[in-house]
A = this chain, B = another copy of it.
């Protein structure tokens, strides 16, 4: 299974510390070695970096650990291929434009028999179920808000994203991070955790790397940020597990909305092998 990392802040911040631990899972402390990607929003603009090399060995990932891009919303992903070959086209986050906003999407899970009718407004470039789900999500949003000339507010978007997500999540585990640069949408089928950081900031210690950081020295007392990750990245901080079927929306560094679809299931993770599949079931999986 892949791993997700998201960040939403009230003022632009760097994600280097968290990304350092996260990238270790891309080949070193875990075997998510089939590529990685990270997207940053900066104002109306954005940038995304992808690589089909393991994040722990990637020169580009090393550059990002050292180079302080500041962003209010970040979505990162390390890949363990389940559907689709190991290639750049299959690396998350995926990107599409709708109503003048760049949307990024990254997911983990495994959708089965998911072949939605795509009308051509968005079509996958690669061969993953993940990108197909993203195209269907964007097509569905476009249809619901057809006739709009400007992007809807996140408060209008949230129930629509929740409903579309519930439909897709009937096909398998569908944990994802999605953003338009204004809000960070996070959905859980099987495993996702959130952490709120604000004054007083602790000294945080990475789980995956021998590194601690005094966050109080780095942040202003008004700074506020939410981190979302498949598995907690730090020890000694209070990571809160999502419920199965839960969509949370993070705005300005804090949770602003949530809803739970009680019908959503947490699917068992099959231990499979063969061409294009290589998921090893984690020792503990599911947070319900």
Residues of A at the B interface (CB closer than 8 Å) are 42-50, 52, 59-60, 63, 67, 87-91, 95-97, 99-102, 120-126, 149
Contacts and interface: CB of A to CB of B under 8 A. Distances in A.
B47 A50 contact: yes
Contacts of A49: 47, 49
Nearest to A68: B59
B87 A102 contact: no
B96 A125 contact: no
A120 B95 CA distance: 17
A91 B45 CA distance: 9
A50 B45 contact: yes
Nearest to A126: B44
Nearest to A63: B63
A60 to B, nearest CB: 7
A98 to B, nearest CB: 8
Contact of A120 (B47, B87, B96, B149): B149
Q: Which of A87, A91, A125, A126 has the most CB of B within 10 A?
A: A125
A162 to B, nearest CB: 24
A126 to B, nearest CB: 6
Contact of A125 (B45, B48, B52, B125): B45
A100 B149 CA distance: 24
Given A43-B88, A88-B43, A125-B45, A120 B97 contact: no
Nearest to A138: B97
A241 B133 CA distance: 46
A120 B138 CA distance: 13
B97 A122 contact: yes
Contact of A123 (B88, B91, B100): B100
Given A44-B89, A47-B49, A97-B123, 7 more contacts: A43-B87, A46-B89, A60-B63, A95-B95, A96-B97, A99-B120, A100-B124
A83 to B, nearest CB: 15
Contacts of A67: 59-60
Contacts of A97: 96, 122-123, 125
Q: Which of A52, A96, A100, A149 has the most CB of B within 10 A?
A: A100
A42 B47 CA distance: 18
Q: Which 4 A-B pairs have the closest CB atoms?
A: A45-B88, A45-B89, A44-B89, A100-B123
A88 B46 contact: yes
A55 B93 CA distance: 25
B126 A45 contact: yes
A44 to B, nearest CB: 4
A9 B47 CA distance: 26
23 contacts: A43-B87, A44-B88, A44-B125, A45-B50, A45-B52, A45-B88, A45-B89, A45-B126, A46-B88, A47-B50, A47-B88, A49-B49, A59-B63, A59-B67, A60-B63, A60-B67, A96-B97, A97-B122, A97-B123, A97-B125, A99-B120, A102-B125, A121-B121
